[in-house]
Structure 1
Amino acid sequence: MTVLGIVRDRLIQPANNGVTTLRDGQIVQGKILKIFPNNRAEIQIGAHKLVAEITTPLSVGRGYFFQVQAADKLVQLKVIGEPLKQENSQNIVHLLTQLGIKGTKLNSQFMHALMNDKVSFTEEQLQQAVQMLEKAPSKTDAMQVLKEMIANRLPMTNTIFQALSSNQHTTISPLLHQLITELRQLPHLQDSQQKLLTLLESIVERPLSSELQLVKQMFDAPQQRETIFTLLKMAGIVDINQQVSRLNNAVGQFLQANRNHISVEQFWNSFIGREIYKESSMSQTVEQPINSLKTNFQHTTGQNIGEKEVGQFSSERSNQILQTFSTIVVNAREIQAIAAKIIGLFHHPLKTNTISSEQLATWRNMIMDELIPLLPTITKEKIRPLFQQNKMENNTQLIQLLQMMANKETYKIAQDVLLTETKEHNSLYEPLQRQFIIHINNYVQSIGLLDESQLKMHFSSILEQGETIVNHKQPETVKSLLLQMIQQENVGSNERVHQLLHFINGMQLQSVQESNNFLHAALQIPGEKLGLHKDIFMQFEGKKTEKDQIDPDYCRILFVLHLHHLQETIIDMHIQKRIISVTIFNDIHDLTYNNTDLKETLAHNLNKLHYHLSTITWKPLHVPEQNETIKQPKKDLNNQKERFDFFI
């Protein structure tokens, strides 16, 4: 079972511990405490006692199954069958028979689960549940989902059952990646499919720096590879003397060695370290991105670099590209015209090596006087060495640069990079907390969790203002695009499309639950965009405010994370009168010691929000076996994941 499933099990408990309100048609188990005149009796149902009107002679101290027939000022209960026997299994089979349901072992197990968790139900709910239970492939999972549907009074439909079932054993990211892979493999994408692919990629993929955008484009559009490579030369990212053949060889070897997982970051950092600075041949094992960036920085500056500076160095390279491309795009028309003129005058004699000394001098002077002044500063610096010696190799490099500058496609690529960078607001280099907030807001909107809510608000606004409903276009989300694809005949049977749609519906059904004066909210977020291996799960619970929101002064927040070094980690925050106590569950390290600076930073930042940090406590995530200390490494933590609900 996933973390989501465990916490969901815990979520439904507060709503079902005992019976607070009886609804017409419900079937409950009760015990007669006292008999009063006028067919009245005091009955205990769960942890609650109530006075009800009875229509059948009953015995004090005996238990019965009752069916609620009315829930006005005085509850009316109808007795079902005979008094309960000590053997609970006999009672359950007898009740099933009374309701016209087969007393099979499976149905009895389901009824037993409902009774144990004190989940009241109606005859109609039970009949619909056993029908879906019979058809379900996994009976155990189906029982859990059906029990949740009854407990939360959800419609007993197959659609809702599939929605909740899809959330049992997976998280959102694997489903998104599976659909992305299938869409990319299609030979031709329809409009809705292309929009869906773009949205999915924006949800799960980390924002790429400018250079990595270009590298990704090299993989996606091989026909543009040479142009992109030359643009990177102009930006000073790639050595001006490097040949595109070396890039093609590197790409081929990388694809062969990494067929299952292509990382443009891993490829590019490795290529920079090996091809540009000639550390070693591509036949050696590909280094990790961090190590390659360190080596790159050392070659470039002669200084050492730590992991904290890696992001800054990558940012500087991206800024260098953006500055170069900005100048190229601004001067695009003049650069293109002059490059085309020079090529037209001297291309043939240069290509056939029949150019005279006078022509060669004129050719070089035109480049120096007319073209170079229009180019970015870094490009001028990289091109000037090519004029120092009259070598065939240098002339060839200059010809390739001129051809690239005369091509319209060059400026379109540069402009696309600038537009993408503007659209992303350079979020890759934002502080982590800012990235986190941006990611949550974009994800909740893009995936479609708010679709129905926004539509309801729109129609409510129209009705209040008395306006006629006009063509209202909702923002396109993953959910709305999935619905469009299902309606199209050629993709309507796509299993991944249906599976993801059910999962999103399941998240919506489980996102907010209410019980008495409390609210329970849960949110699952793709973690890859924030650099995590697995998805993030957050749970909020607390008292309701007058606006039906969680009271920030009295609440509890649970974070379930899977971190690179700390692995599975649960952070449990209790807030009472804006005083916060934090419990960290982790099997690897006791995070409360030797972290004074981090504690002070956390306390300081919470004070800015008018909260006070009280305590930070560490506890192991899993229960250690006998004769096993907490600090001993576990061979397989995954086999014990179902046990940490004991601590939550």
Structure 2
Amino acid sequence: MSIHRLLGDKAVQQVHLPSHQQLKSGDVVQGKVIKLFPDHKAKINLAGKQMIAQLETPLIIGERYHFQVKHTQDQILHLQVLANNFKNNTEQSAIQLIQQLGLKPTKISVAFMQSLIKQQMPFNQNSFIQSVHLLQSREAKEIPIKQQFGVLHNLMEKKLPISHAIFQSTMKLSTGGISNSIEALLKESRNQNIRFNPLLYQLEQVNSGFKTENMSIIKYMASDLNNTQTNGNLYHIFKNLGMISPSITKNQWNQAWMSMVENTPKSLVEGRALPFSMDHSALMKGIDQLTANQSKIIELTRSMLQVNDGSVRHSKNLINFQKIADLLPESISLRFSEALMKGQPRSFLETLNNPNTYHELYNMLKTLQNPVLNHSPQLGKIQQLFLQQVQWMNQRAGLNYEHQLAHQQIDINNVKAQLIQLVQSSSGSLAEKAQQLLNHIQGIQINSITESNGFLQAFLQIPAQKLGLAKDIDLQFESKKTKDGKIDPEYCRVLFYLSLNNLKDTVIDMHVQKRNVTVTIYNDFTDLENFVGAMKENLNQGLKQNDYRLSSVHIKAMDSLNEGDKEHREKRYHPSSYQGVDFRV
């Protein structure tokens, strides 16, 4: 799961200006009058922070205003009222504000200004003009406008330059994981028959992996072979339904699955395919459809087997055959039609008529849908692979390329350096895919570190295809800055944004205070507490080994993700109070 895809504009709402010291001359910020005091003073909510203001212009309680910073004198901000009455965020309000900035309203500029008003986002005239220019570019027309607004909000919030390069890089980060960009380049290189390239070889190693969903199939098949009650019945079911080749013998079937079990650690690293071609998702959908239509299929097949021994000669049977085919998954329906054409549907009909077929398949479906099963027994190997991916991102992907360049210490394996060379030396679709991956790496760089008033926020995206996940892992760290400028391991927050095979979208929010760890899991999977409860002790022991203590584990719905995070970072770590005059209006 991507933090950018998951939170969208909500991510922007949660990070406001920590202090008026960040406001510069020319900045425009929205504020609301909260309370009036004697001596021409008032409490105003300015960019998410309540401050006391000296009034030099009459203001009305409850009204929203847009202020522009004119200058700073004696650490007091002098603000000019630009516009007010933003209660309904109307188009006219946006037009009024654009005109007061001396600009001509257009359809795209008005829409963008409305988004800034809605998000209460501080901005300046130059950043607004640059943003509108980017929104009108040719590349922008291919991306949803709401997504573009979110990226520009993010750049403004972080005080980053609003340039074409930075916009494209951040946009690439928000549209997908780095694994997708890597795979797109690898696919294009294969199309052009490019081989023995060190860059492509390294990228292959980053993306190649063994899917945990396939591991769950291997474990289930192995257990079926060793089950004295079923005695490997799935082989006969799969073969009779045409799900595997008729030439595969029972002995070959058994040997192949047992070989995969014995070599799972090696297979995990080498990315070996299953011994028989089976798509996990298609298999699950197929079994689900079969079991859902069990009663209808059994009724039709029983009638045909009793009356005409499964013959295709009678027109009534042809109608029933078609009814059965319509109830079957597409791949099985195709094999069923082939059996009819050959005049050999009996084994198909008998298998479909047998209640045990559905019992076996239903058990398989429920077991493979169990998230605990997909927790690989090779946990150490998964941890090792995860750390390898983190290390690759930090040391080889090119996040430190500019630092290496400045110190003349370029690593020949630095992916960003090699991508720059590839873009310069190639053309066409290959150069385009290389540039897209380069943009993605630069997008991660741009968002990697944000520093504000003694606080650090770090972001890292981990390619997760090798770990068996459909989407990459996003990590976000928040912390007070230590004296040497690093994240404080005793007072910090770590968020994991995941897309798991069975649990789907999941966010793990880990708070650390004095080495006490509170974990909150956001997920919509039913009965998740039963699964998490069984794993608490393992988590507690793992934390103890690193001198941390598990305080508590909470499970909440995804909808409540932002409810507990509306306070500013400063308020979470130390209470603030405001006295005296902070700025003058």
Name the TM-score, length of structure 2 as normaliser: 0.62
CA displacement 1:29-66 (0-9 Å, x = unmatched): 456867979xx9987634333557x9xx7324376543
Deviation at residue 506 of structure 1 after TM alignment: 1.0
Q: 1:311 aligns with which of 261, 264, 268?
A: 264
The residue aligned with 2:368 is none
Q: What CA distance in whole angstroms lies between the structure 2 residues aligned with 1:312 and 1:188? A: 30
The residue aligned with 1:45 is 46
| Secondary structure in 1 matching 2:413 | coil
Structure 2 CA distance for partners of 1:617 and 1:486, relative to 1, 3 Å = same
Q: What CA distance in whole angstroms lies between the structure 2 residues aligned with 1:313 and 1:67? A: 62
| Secondary structure in 2 matching 1:129 | helix
Q: What CA distance in whole angstroms lies between the structure 1 residues aligned with 2:509 and 2:517? A: 10
| Secondary structure in 2 matching 1:499 | helix
Deviation at residue 439 of structure 1 after TM alignment: 2.4
The residue aligned with 1:150 is 156
Q: What code does the residue aligned with 2:158 have?
A: N
The residue aligned with 1:618 is 555
Matched-pair contact (CA < 8 Å) for 1:18–1:118: no
Q: What CA distance in whole angstroms lies between the structure 1 residues aligned with 2:500 and 2:86? A: 52
The residue aligned with 1:587 is 524
**1:224-243 counterparts in 2 under 5 A?**
none
Q: What CA distance in whole angstroms lies between the structure 2 residues aligned with 1:584 and 1:50? A: 39
| Secondary structure in 2 matching 1:49 | strand
Q: 1:436 aligns with which of 386, 399, 409?
A: 386
Q: What code does the residue aligned with 2:149 have?
A: M
Structure 2 CA distance for partners of 1:492 and 1:154, relative to 1, 3 Å = farther
CA displacement 1:274-300 (0-9 Å, x = unmatched): xxxxx999997559xxx9998228989
Q: What code does the residue aligned with 2:547 have?
A: H
Matched-pair contact (CA < 8 Å) for 2:12–2:119: no
CA displacement 1:173-214 (0-9 Å, x = unmatched): 12211110111222456x8xx122112111111389xxxxxx
Deviation at residue 567 of structure 1 after TM alignment: 3.5
Matched-pair contact (CA < 8 Å) for 1:486–1:492: no
Q: What CA distance in whole angstroms lies between the structure 1 residues aligned with 2:109 and 2:124? A: 15
Q: What code does the residue aligned with 1:296 have?
A: Q
Structure 2 CA distance for partners of 1:599 and 1:294, relative to 1, 3 Å = farther
Instruction: Give the number of aligned pairs.
Output: 425
Q: Does 1:533 align with 2:470?
A: yes
The residue aligned with 1:513 is 450
The residue aligned with 2:4 is 4
CA displacement 1:433-482 (0-9 Å, x = unmatched): 223212210233222122123334x27xxxxxxxxxxxx54433222112
Deviation at residue 100 of structure 1 after TM alignment: 2.7
The residue aligned with 1:555 is 492
Structure 2 CA distance for partners of 1:2 and 1:73, relative to 1, 3 Å = same
The residue aligned with 2:202 is 199
The residue aligned with 2:72 is 71
| Secondary structure in 1 matching 2:20 | coil
Q: 2:509 aligns with which of 569, 572, 594?
A: 572
Q: Does 1:482 align with 2:419?
A: yes
Q: 2:118 aligns with which of 116, 119, 124?
A: 116
**1:12-411 counterparts in 2 under 5 A?**
12-17=12-17, 20-21=20-21, 22-30=23-31, 45-46=46-47, 47-49=49-51, 58-61=57-60, 65-75=66-76, 77=78, 79=80, 89=90, 90-135=92-137, 136-137=140-141, 138-188=144-194, 194-206=197-209, 285-286=243-244, 295-296=254-255, 311=264
Matched-pair contact (CA < 8 Å) for 1:66–1:79: yes
Q: What CA distance in whole angstroms lies between the structure 2 residues aligned with 1:489 and 1:435? A: 32
Deviation at residue 583 of structure 1 after TM alignment: 2.3
The residue aligned with 2:318 is none
Q: What CA distance in whole angstroms lies between the structure 1 residues aligned with 2:83 and 2:524? A: 52
Matched-pair contact (CA < 8 Å) for 2:70–2:80: no
Deviation at residue 4 of structure 1 after TM alignment: 3.4
Structure 2 CA distance for partners of 1:27 and 1:492, relative to 1, 3 Å = same
Matched-pair contact (CA < 8 Å) for 1:583–1:619: yes
In structure 1, the gaps of 5 or more residues are: 209-262, 274-278, 319-427, 460-471, 624-643
| Secondary structure in 2 matching 1:70 | strand
Deviation at residue 539 of structure 1 after TM alignment: 1.9
Q: Does 1:445 align with 2:451?
A: no
Q: What code does the residue aligned with 2:386 have?
A: F
Deviation at residue 11 of structure 1 after TM alignment: 4.9
Matched-pair contact (CA < 8 Å) for 1:513–1:519: yes
The residue aligned with 2:346 is none
Deviation at residue 87 of structure 1 after TM alignment: 6.5
Matched-pair contact (CA < 8 Å) for 1:172–1:503: yes
Matched-pair contact (CA < 8 Å) for 1:543–1:555: yes
Q: What code does the residue aligned with 1:93 have?
A: I
Q: Note the aligned Cα RMSD (angstroms).
A: 4.4
| Secondary structure in 2 matching 1:603 | helix
Q: What CA distance in whole angstroms lies between the structure 2 residues aligned with 1:585 and 1:554? A: 21
In structure 2, the gaps of 5 or more residues are: 226-234, 272-377, 566-585
Which structure has the greater CA radius of gyration?
1
Q: What CA distance in whole angstroms lies between the structure 1 residues aligned with 2:82 and 2:258? A: 86
Q: What CA distance in whole angstroms lies between the structure 2 residues aligned with 1:547 and 1:501? A: 31
Instruction: Identify the structure with bigger relative contact order (alpha carbons < 8 Å, sequence gap 6+).
Output: 2
Deviation at residue 595 of structure 1 after TM alignment: 6.2
Q: What code does the residue aligned with 1:510 have?
A: N
CA displacement 1:63-111 (0-9 Å, x = unmatched): 6543323234244536365665876544432221122322234322322
Q: What CA distance in whole angstroms lies between the structure 2 residues aligned with 1:528 and 1:604? A: 28
Matched-pair contact (CA < 8 Å) for 2:5–2:175: yes
CA displacement 1:498-530 (0-9 Å, x = unmatched): 221111111111122223332222221111212
Matched-pair contact (CA < 8 Å) for 1:570–1:584: yes
CA displacement 1:326-350 (0-9 Å, x = unmatched): xxxxxxxxxxxxxxxxxxxxxxxxx
Q: What CA distance in whole angstroms lies between the structure 1 residues aligned with 2:168 and 2:536? A: 44
Q: What CA distance in whole angstroms lies between the structure 1 residues aligned with 2:472 and 2:190? A: 23
Structure 2 CA distance for partners of 1:533 and 1:4, relative to 1, 3 Å = same
| Secondary structure in 2 matching 1:154 | coil
CA displacement 1:550-594 (0-9 Å, x = unmatched): 211122222233334434333222222211122223333434336
Q: What CA distance in whole angstroms lies between the structure 1 residues aligned with 2:94 and 2:154? A: 20
Q: What code does the residue aligned with 2:264 have?
A: G
Matched-pair contact (CA < 8 Å) for 1:34–1:43: no
Q: Report sequence identity in percent.
A: 31
Q: What CA distance in whole angstroms lies between the structure 1 residues aligned with 2:189 and 2:529? A: 46
| Secondary structure in 2 matching 1:616 | strand
Q: Which is worse superposed, 536-545 or 146-155? A: 536-545
**1:498-509 counterparts in 2 under 5 A?**
498-509=435-446
Structure 2 CA distance for partners of 1:66 and 1:580, relative to 1, 3 Å = closer
